[in-house]
Amino acid sequence: GIAEGVAIGGDRFVGSVFIDNLLRMERNPEVKYMVLLGEVGGTEEYKVIEAVKSGKIKKPIIAWCIGTIAKHFSSGVQFGHAGASANADAETAASKNEAMAAAGIYVPASFNDLPQTIAEVYGKLRSAGTIGEIVEPELRAVPKVRRKKEFICTISDDRGDEATYAGYPISSVATPETGFGIGDVISLLWFKKRYPKWATDYLETVIKTVADHGPAVSGAHNAKVTARAGKDVISSLVTGLLTIGPRFGGAIDDAARYFKYANDRGMSPAEFIDYMKKEGKTISGIGHRIKSVRNPDLRVSGLKKYAAEHFPATPLLDFALEVEKLTTSKKDNLILNVDGTIGILMVDMWRALGYSEEEIDGFIEAGALNAFFVVGRSIGFIGHILDEKRLGMPMYRHPTDDILYNVELADEI
């Protein structure tokens, strides 16, 4: 049966005070009686007392000033978050309660008696017909089991005035003067950490390094063919991305996984090569169709140079380069390729940043390393797609002279 309720803070500069709201409630026919909770300090309750005495307020008021415990202390006591304290006898809770009771306001003997006093006044008004029958609202039942959340998000939050990346407002990272780059945003959203500059610069170096490798690779080829079929940028991009896997780009994850596995177990380079041979697997991150010892991949050279100048240490890269000495002694194109270099240096980076081996293994298993190739190569794929659109190239049909046809008459069953 509550008509309304008002909570007033103890601010130095207030909006409304007790008397403002009680006079308004006096005029509200829905309000039959009022309950006032004051506190020690200030004189606002005395304005209510004067209004009752003068007849401005005729409806019953039940009131209690909190802070009566102060009389039991030998020195002044401050109460509450607002710093309420009595600066004169009239401002004590006991004095206010006595003055309100003298004016005809219903004041209980103690705070514990407040419910009984409310029930008493309600009973009188109910008997007098001032208050009719009140149907109690149906209260919401507290659920026994917390409702399951469909999603959990620990990297960003869009509920406030501005969305955040791992706690950083977008405006604090987006524009050049903030000093944040793409590497910083990746470290926040992918790993929930603010990486040092040498690490974020490495992440950006990786993305720039893998952005494109010409139109002949499978992903770019697919994207170009789809664009020439008249499909949109997104559809064309997806066809290129779908070719990324163990034979194209996906070697980054496997290179990090297997080289780290060998290094963690103290294998020598020769033992690692023998282990992979027994497993029946090629060494991911080793080998290139075109590049070789005599024709080095400048992308790999750039990554190794950056690591030598900025990484605190590169133990896994050092191990991989020892493996490369053995593989290239057999065939000069069995070099450490760009995928292997990226994955191996990523492990060295995470180790230098203080991640545990279990955390690093988790990143690898989740596909975080291949994700760098996906983001970087998307830039190149989109470039090829826009190139096809700009040139207005027609539908692609593969030349028949580039296909070996070997079609025999089908056997009859």
Show which residues are catalytic.
81
Bridge partners (DSSP) of residue 169 are 164
Structure tokens at 29: 């026919």
Q: From CA 371, how far away is CA 377, in angstroms rounded?
A: 10
Region label for 166, one of left (φ > 0), alpha (ψ between -120 and 50) or beta (otherwise): left
Q: What are phi and psi of 96, to 5 degrees?
A: -65, -40
| N-to-C CA span, the chain | 87
Q: From CA 329, how far away is CA 244, in angstroms rounded?
A: 30
Q: What are phi and psi of 292, to 5 degrees?
A: -155, -175
**β-pair type (61-66, 34-39):** parallel
Q: From CA 5, how far away is CA 254, in angstroms rounded?
A: 65
Q: From CA 286, how far away is CA 338, in angstroms rounded?
A: 9
DSSP 51-112: HHHHTS--S-EEEEEE-GGGGGSSS---BTTTTB--SSGGGSHHHHHHHHHHTT-B--SSGG
Q: From CA 353, how far away is CA 342, in angstroms rounded?
A: 16
